[in-house]
A = this chain, B = another copy of it.
Amino acid sequence: MSGNTFGKIFRITTHGESHGPVIGVVVDGVPAGMPLSEADVQRELDRRRPGQSIVTTPRAEKDKVEISSGVFEGKTLGTPICMFVRNVDVDSKPYEAIKAKPRPGHADLAYWLKFGHIDHRGGGRGAARETVGRVAAGAIAKKLLAAHGVEILGHTIEAAGVAVEREVSPEEIRKNVENNPMRCADPKVAEEMKRRVLEASAKGDSTGGVVELIALNVPPGLGDPVFEKLDAEIAHALMSIGSVKGVEIGIGFKAARMFGSEVNDQLRLKGDKIIGDTNNSGGILGGISTGMPIVARIVVKPTPSITKPQKTVDVVRMKEAELKLEGRFDPNICPRIVPVAESMLALVLADHMLRAGKISPNRFKGFK
């Protein structure tokens, strides 16, 4: 496997298995002189952490980040930033029993077919825990972007069949998302989502949903035709998150049932800026940012770990078998995917800001 590196200038390499000693990331391409502390990263990791609420798994990961390189006297050095989190509350025992039985909906079978083994200790690199490195790196990307005026927002817009039917404002997202366990911008809808999520969970089942990502104040001109289009790289980044089965930009799949005259964003002036009357393009045309907000949505499949009995195949004995998972799992992963997806969007944008010369590659803004 050699696919653990992502990005061209702002480039991350993640490592670590779910139940190994540590999980971590090396972040390369951060300009020198940017203020950075472990607290900056911890804040984002705490948002990803399980056990935050009733709808997330209660594994009590502390996930305390340590920065072991690239920062000196509170500022980045321009050298690679290595961060890691020790895996503490690890108990691989429940997995022993199912060692030879790939869990439906999980990567187990595919890993076994590829590598000849299943890292039964909680899924290894296929486990959600792998995203710790992404979120730590994303925290740095976000901070770098923020210093250049770019803001990243994420929120759950649908879960367990309950959707936010109206458009919510950035203000609502900023204000409400961290105040309910679903990370939904509409507190009332959040209540209903939670109710349905727990209802399914009580029956040993899980639910999915849709998460929306928004990037505000992105300068126009990011994205390189034709294969390094901004939307293509965003799709790559978001689809690389486990459990994501689809990505759409702007109007997305709705475009299939609309007319050109409806989808085309009509252009007009707002001061000296050219903007669209609408933002069906999601801030990207021809793979290049237009200056309008970037809008992407991902569909998150229901958590594959459920306690209902399932059918599998014992890969050692090569015979069909039943599987009954024990333990408590995230009944819905949307809220925990929010910071992961925000991170991936931030990574792509930071990389493209650097590629387009909007962020200076060697020295942080104002640093001499």
Q: Which of A14-41 contact B (CB under 8 A)?
A: 14-17, 20-24, 26, 28-29, 32-33
Query: Whole-angstrom distance between the alpha carbons of A16 and B83 in the complex?
Result: 11
Closest to A364 in B: B116
Chain B contacts of A130 at CB under 8 A? 225-226
The distance from the CB of A291 to the nearest CB of chain B, in whole angstroms, is: 7
Query: Whole-angstrom distance between the alpha carbons of A90 and B130 in the complex?
Result: 32
Query: Is A215 on the interface with B (CB-CB < 8 A)?
Result: no
Assess whether B313 is in contact with A115, with CB atoms less than 8 Å apart: no
The distance from the CB of A207 to the nearest CB of chain B, in whole angstroms, is: 6
Interface centre among A240, A268, A281, A360 (most CB of B within 10 A): A240
Query: Is A228 on the interface with B (CB-CB < 8 A)?
Result: yes
Closest to A66 in B: B21
Query: Is A58 on the interface with B (CB-CB < 8 A)?
Result: no
Query: Whole-angstrom distance between the alpha carbons of A253 and B212 in the complex?
Result: 13
How many copies of this chain?
4
Query: Is A190 on the interface with B (CB-CB < 8 A)?
Result: no
Checking B5, B24, B252 against A246 with a beta-carbon cut-off of 8 angstroms, the contacting residue is B252
Assess whether A229 is in contact with B225, with CB atoms less than 8 Å apart: no
- Known contacts A4-B28, A113-B290: does B255 contact A249 (CB below 8 Å)? no
Assess whether B4 is in contact with A256, with CB atoms less than 8 Å apart: no
Chain B contacts of A24 at CB under 8 A? 68-69, 82
Closest to A319 in B: B269
- Known contacts A235-B247, A252-B299: does B69 contact A20 (CB below 8 Å)? yes
Assess whether A115 is in contact with B206, with CB atoms less than 8 Å apart: no
Assess whether A264 is in contact with B105, with CB atoms less than 8 Å apart: yes
Assess whether B2 is in contact with A10, with CB atoms less than 8 Å apart: yes
The distance from the CB of A332 to the nearest CB of chain B, in whole angstroms, is: 10
- Known contacts A240-B226, A268-B311, A310-B264: does B299 contact A253 (CB below 8 Å)? yes
Chain B contacts of A10 at CB under 8 A? 2
Chain B contacts of A2 at CB under 8 A? 8-11, 28-29, 224, 228, 361
Query: Whole-angstrom distance between the alpha carbons of A226 and B241 in the complex?
Result: 8
Assess whether A253 is in contact with B253, with CB atoms less than 8 Å apart: yes
Query: Is A77 on the interface with B (CB-CB < 8 A)?
Result: yes
The distance from the CB of A173 to the nearest CB of chain B, in whole angstroms, is: 19
Assess whether B226 is in contact with A260, with CB atoms less than 8 Å apart: no
Closest to A84 in B: B68
Query: Is A51 on the interface with B (CB-CB < 8 A)?
Result: no
Assess whether A255 is in contact with B105, with CB atoms less than 8 Å apart: no
Assess whether B229 is in contact with A268, with CB atoms less than 8 Å apart: no
Chain B contacts of A328 at CB under 8 A? none
Assess whether B265 is in contact with A104, with CB atoms less than 8 Å apart: yes
Query: Is A111 on the interface with B (CB-CB < 8 A)?
Result: yes
Checking B23, B70, B126, B320 against A286 with a beta-carbon cut-off of 8 angstroms, the contacting residue is B126
Assess whether A8 is in contact with B5, with CB atoms less than 8 Å apart: no
Checking B11, B242, B252, B264 against A306 with a beta-carbon cut-off of 8 angstroms, the contacting residue is B264
Interface centre among A15, A68, A255 (most CB of B within 10 A): A15
Chain B contacts of A158 at CB under 8 A? 256-257
Query: Is A138 on the interface with B (CB-CB < 8 A)?
Result: no
Query: Whole-angstrom distance between the alpha carbons of A22 and B84 in the complex?
Result: 12
Chain B contacts of A228 at CB under 8 A? 2-3, 240
